[in-house]
Amino acid sequence: GKRVKGTQISRPFCYGTTARPFDPVSNPKPAGVPDDHTHSWEVYVRGIDGADITYWLRRVQFKLHESIPNHVRMIEGVQGQPFVVKETGWGEFEISIKLYFAAESNEKPQTLYHHLRLHPYGKTDQEKEATGKNNEVISWCYEDLLFNEPYEAFYETLTSG
């Protein structure tokens, strides 16, 4: 295939974590969750306002802390749905988020990093943080991923969404 010369296409998405402390009323701890776990949380990659991104982003590998069983999670895209991993735990750590693009792209996977936040404090410049209802700790980033001179087949894919 050939590259589309002089062309750049970007696709927006966001990624981040949402955590909730266990609470008998607002977030009861499910049976089987270890005693030392204090929070439920999720990490996700998704389109803006529910937009589908699976036509160009096919798989996401989330690498969690090694203390978590099966800490490497490969999530296949399902049309219209976010890429998400839900877990419980007690500590914060850096999550690596590896993005795998449509096969025809010939693009190498790209890795992002996101700090799982359980407690509401501090933030970096790019990070949006808010404390939502029920003491949710929300931390997320916006990304506009730029594809420079995509291959023709991938150009078709990118402009089909």
The strand pairing partners of 147, in sequence order, are 9
Pick one of 93, 112, 129, 151: the residue that binds ligand SLL (CB under 6 A).
Answer: 93
Which one of residues 9, 22, 58, 68 is an interface residue with ligand SLL (CB under 6 A)?
68
Q: What gap in Å lies between CA 81 and CA 77, rounded to an integer? A: 7
Binding piece for ligand SLL, criterion CB under 6 A, among 3-11, 54-62, 86-94, 126-134: 86-94
Produce one character per residue of 40-77: b if its CB has 16 or more CB atoms within 10 Å, e if not.
bbebbbbbeeeeebbebbbbbbbbbeeebeeeebebeb
Applying CB under 6 A, among 67, 96, 148, 159 the residue interacting with ligand SLL is 67
| DSSP secondary structure, 93-105, as one string | -EEEEEEEE-GGG
- Residue 68 CB, shortest distance to ligand SLL, in Å, is 4
Choose, by CB under 6 A, the member of 65, 73, 98, 115 that binds ligand SLL.
65
Where do contacts with ligand SLL occur on this chain (CB under 6 A)? Answer: 65, 67-68, 89-93
